[in-house]
């Protein structure tokens, strides 16, 4: 008897189906057998109805009386609506005046995303990770998520389909990875999508939260992929944003230095989301309203945000200065690496730090102190002649202005000039020939507190003596160097 029971049900189902040869939407609450009949079993694999029922899709119609008599609202707030069909929009229920049929179609039910599904499934229901699926309703006019997502870097080619890459770069694998912590075996080509809505969001979330996110708190979503952990491409630290934010301990740290943590990690409860995706906080009403383009608005930091009132150059916060400083340190380290002896361990240590900072991609914003200290210690690490004796790094700042001798000197044709600033400010560094003609301006802009190094390439200049002149605040100093070809 126990074996017969399911058989009888199956027979009944088949009979029921044969009466309705045409596919019909029955939805979660529709005519039997609806999805709930099987997909609310309580087992983790067959619990989708129970989970869906907790999401706002399950109340997209019920919760909003104002839209219930307005045809214009139904396409996105109910299931199965298609204006092209004859019967008032629903293909199997007559809508106009038929509230009973209408009610069985209400809300964004299973079939909105899975298509008209046959029971028992004679063919697999559609499983679609594409953003277009969600974009049918979450689009510009009512809900700009799709459009903003499409403008973000998450909308692009999935980089590689190899297993180890796919878990962060391809939608179905990434969804599986975020759920289980494991990569998904390779997929057929037609199931390869970029990072879409269904990667971060789920319509079936066991730990349901306000945003229907796969991982909660929201911060965990970003950090699962934006980490160097598990993403080794060669020996290079790949997407190390999470590590950069956490700070000391992540990159190669040179002995004798003290590395700072980031205030952003300490004081922002959800750093990635708060800077990159908090619509209320960062929205430019003309362009952004959902934050899904992930564009951080740096002007906000100094405008109404945490750094409000800190107007440069009176303060430690000068975003343009930070970018300029970081860019010049990156360029300097890059050129030093190209000259360095690649057989030395110091080269690889400095190279690691260089890749770490460059691949973080924030030009120091994520963790200014850490990124800057790494670059400076690496520069000094591979050119020991630039090490400033007795200098105390870390939280302390230089006591006085210093203009160091150029190294090497004499030189041909490249040398480096280091200087230190006890306070941030406008800096100018010029090179003159022996006749007093200005041959090069090496620095002209805002620079932060601390040591700085600048490269000088004497291309096109004749051998001879040159002087370089530093001007910072009321400080002036001048030194000599010799170009010997």
Question: Which of residues 192, 222, 350, 427 is near ligand HEC by CB under 6 A?
Answer: 222
Closer by beta carbon to ligand HEC, 149 or else 369: 149
Contact between 160 and ligand HEC (CB under 6 A)?
Answer: yes
Contact between 313 and ligand HEC (CB under 6 A)?
Answer: no
Q: Are 289 and 279 in contact (CB under 8 A)?
A: yes
Question: Could you tell me which residues come within 8 angstroms of residue 95 by beta carbon, excluding any fewer than 6 positions away?
Answer: 87, 88, 89, 101, 102, 105
Q: Is 360 exposed, middle or buried (0-12, 13-18, 19+ CB in 10 A)?
A: buried
Question: Which of residues 24, 227, 377, 415 is near ligand HEC by CB under 6 A?
Answer: 227
* Bond preceding residue 387 cis, omega within 30 of 0: no
* Distance between CA atoms of residues 329 and 217, nearest Å: 35
Instruction: Give, as ranges, the residues between 367 and 406 that touch ligand HEC (CB under 6 A).
Output: none
Instruction: Give, as ranges, the residues between 173 and 212 that touch ligand HEC (CB under 6 A).
Output: 174-175, 195, 197-204, 210-212
Q: Which of 202, 222, 198, 221 is nearest to 212 (CA)?
A: 202
Instruction: Give, as ranges, the residues between 341 and 370 that touch ligand HEC (CB under 6 A).
Output: 359, 361-363, 365-366
Contact between 424 and ligand HEC (CB under 6 A)?
Answer: no
Q: C-beta of 61: minimal distance to ligand HEC in Å? A: 8
Contact between 75 and ligand HEC (CB under 6 A)?
Answer: yes
Residues 348, 351, 352, 354, Cα dihedral to 10°: 160
Stretch that binds ligand HEC, among 184-192, 228-236, 370-378, 462-470 (CB under 6 A): 228-236
Contact between 246 and ligand HEC (CB under 6 A)?
Answer: no
* Bond preceding residue 61 cis, omega within 30 of 0: no
Closer by beta carbon to ligand HEC, 233 or else 402: 233
Question: Which of residues 102, 192, 225, 358 is near ligand HEC by CB under 6 A?
Answer: 225
Dihedral sign computed on CA atoms, order 202, 205, 210, 213: negative
Q: C-beta of 441: minimal distance to ligand HEC in Å? A: 25
Instruction: Give, as ranges, the residues between 44 and 73 that touch ligand HEC (CB under 6 A).
Output: 45, 48-49, 52, 56-57, 59-60, 63-64, 66-67, 70, 72-73
Q: Is 370 exposed, middle or buried (0-12, 13-18, 19+ CB in 10 A)?
A: buried
Closer by beta carbon to ligand HEC, 285 or else 436: 285
Closer by beta carbon to ligand HEC, 49 or else 401: 49
Closer by beta carbon to ligand HEC, 35 or else 421: 35
Question: Which of residues 104, 277, 377, 415 is near ligand HEC by CB under 6 A?
Answer: 277
Question: Could you tell me which residues come within 8 angstroms of residue 264 by beta carbon, excluding any fewer than 6 positions away?
Answer: 245, 271, 275, 366, 367
* Bond preceding residue 40 cis, omega within 30 of 0: no
């Amino acid at each position: 008897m126990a074996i017969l029971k399911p058989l009888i049900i199956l027979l009944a189902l088949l009979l029921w189906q044969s009466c309705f040869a045409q596919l019909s939407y029955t939805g979660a609450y529709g005519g039997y057998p609806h999805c709930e009949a099987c997909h609310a079993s309580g087992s983790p694999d067959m619990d989708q109805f129970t989970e869906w029922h907790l999401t706002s899709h399950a109340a997209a119609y019920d919760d909003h009386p104002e839209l219930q008599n307005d045809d214009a609202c139904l396409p996105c707030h109910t299931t199965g609506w298609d204006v092209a069909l004859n019967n008032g929009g629903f293909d199997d229920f007559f809508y106009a005046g038929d509230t009973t049929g209408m009610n069985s179609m209400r809300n964004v039910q299973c079939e909105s995303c899975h298509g008209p599904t046959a029971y028992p499934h004679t063919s697999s229901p559609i499983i679609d990770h594409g953003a277009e699926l969600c974009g049918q309703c979450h689009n510009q006019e009512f809900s700009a998520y799709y459009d903003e997502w499409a403008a973000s870097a998450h909308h692009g080619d999935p980089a590689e389909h190899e297993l180890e890459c796919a878990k962060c770069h391809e939608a179905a694998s990434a969804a599986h990875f975020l759920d289980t912590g494991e990569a998904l075996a390779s997929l057929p080509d037609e199931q390869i999508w970029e990072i879409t809505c269904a990667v971060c969001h789920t319509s079936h979330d066991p730990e349901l939260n306000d945003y229907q996110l796969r991982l909660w708190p929201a911060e965990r979503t970003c950090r699962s992929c934006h980490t160097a952990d598990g993403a080794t491409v060669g020996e290079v630290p790949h997407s190390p944003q999470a590590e950069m934010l956490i700070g000391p301990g992540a990159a190669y740290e040179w002995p004798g230095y003290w590395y700072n943590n980031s205030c952003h990690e300490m004081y922002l409860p959800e750093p990635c989301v708060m800077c990159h995706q908090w619509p209320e906080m960062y929205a430019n009403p003309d362009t952004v309203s959902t934050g899904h383009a992930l564009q951080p608005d740096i002007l906000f930091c100094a405008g109404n945000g945490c750094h409000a009132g800190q107007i440069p150059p009176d303060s430690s916060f000068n975003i343009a200065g930070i970018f300029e400083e970081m860019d010049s340190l990156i360029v300097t380290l890059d050129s030093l690496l190209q000259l360095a002896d690649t057989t030395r361990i110091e080269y690889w240590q400095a190279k690691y730090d260089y890749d770490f900072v460059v691949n973080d991609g924030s030009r120091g914003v994520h963790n200014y102190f850490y990124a800057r200290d790494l670059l400076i210690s690496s520069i000094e690490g591979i050119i020991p002649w630039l090490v400033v004796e007795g200098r105390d790094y870390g939280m302390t700042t230089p006591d006085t202005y210093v203009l160091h001798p150029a190294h090497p000197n004499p030189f041909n044709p490249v040398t480096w000039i280091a200087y230190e600033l006890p306070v941030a400010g406008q800096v100018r560094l010029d090179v003159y020939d022996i006749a007093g003609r200005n041959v090069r301006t090496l620095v002209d802009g805002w620079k932060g507190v601390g040591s700085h190094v600048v490269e000088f390439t004497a291309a096109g200049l004749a051998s001879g003596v040159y002087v370089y002149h530093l001007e910072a605040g009321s400080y002036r100093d001048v030194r000599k160097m010799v170009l010997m070809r």
